[in-house]
Amino acid sequence: MHNHAAGKYTGFAMLLHWLIAVLVIVSWRIAEGAEGAATREARGEIMANHFAIGVVIFAVVAVRLIWRLMNPPPPAPAGHKGWERTLARIVHTAFYVLLLAMPIAGWIAMSSFGNRISVWGLFELPRLPVPINQALGEQIFELHALAGTTLLILIVVHALGALKHTIIDKDGTLFRMLPFGRVRG
């Protein structure tokens, strides 16, 4: 069901958007929490949840991207300036690139350590056919962490943009991705 006349995303797009947001925040907090683990084993158990959530994030983002391609988003409110539309397009593209590339990078890194990825014991991702190379795995994880920091910065930019449009411009941009409220413009 399209609600583009009201300038809103579809209900399914809203669900996927907020599910991805929650999963990313939970995954980030789990990774941060693992840093303070008492033992290497405890850290590994905590990080197993981070890896499993990464698999789920990849799947949900892939569904979101396919949905978006099949159901184009509603046009931005008419009051948005050209640079704002361009920045929004760049941020959204970067979200998709990072949210798909980061789990793949994690899988490659885990594979370079010789490990599979268990998704809470429900199924396992096999080791990719990459050479066992601990140094390479560590470098990939460093890039993964840098990508994560970049993602967090983009989330802040995204949220501030939505709030700026909603509170200062009073165009209801935030409500485009919520089942309540009105979009103006």
Span 5-60, pLDDT tens digits: 578 999 999 999 999 999 999 999 999 999 999 999 999 999 999 999 999 999 99
Provide the CATH number for the domain around residue 133.
1.20.950
Say yes or no to pLDDT of 2 above 60. Answer: no
Residue 183 inside a domain? The answer is no
Span 64-79, pLDDT tens digits: 999 999 999 998 888 8
Residue 61 inside a domain? The answer is yes
Residue 170 inside a domain? The answer is yes
Query: Any bridge partners for residue 118, and if so which?
Result: 124
Residue 114 inside a domain? The answer is yes
Question: Into how many domains does the chain fold?
Answer: 1
Residue 41 inside a domain? The answer is yes
Residue 182 inside a domain? The answer is no
Residue 92 inside a domain? The answer is yes
Residue 98 inside a domain? The answer is yes
pTM here is 0.93
User: What is the predicted pLDDT for the residue at 1?
Assistant: 44
Residue 73 CA to residue 180 CA, distance in Å, equals 17
User: What is the predicted pLDDT for the residue at 4?
Assistant: 61
Span 123-182, pLDDT tens digits: 999 999 999 999 999 999 999 999 999 999 999 999 999 999 999 999 989 999 999 988
Q: List the domain range (segments joined by +) for residue 146.
A: 4-177
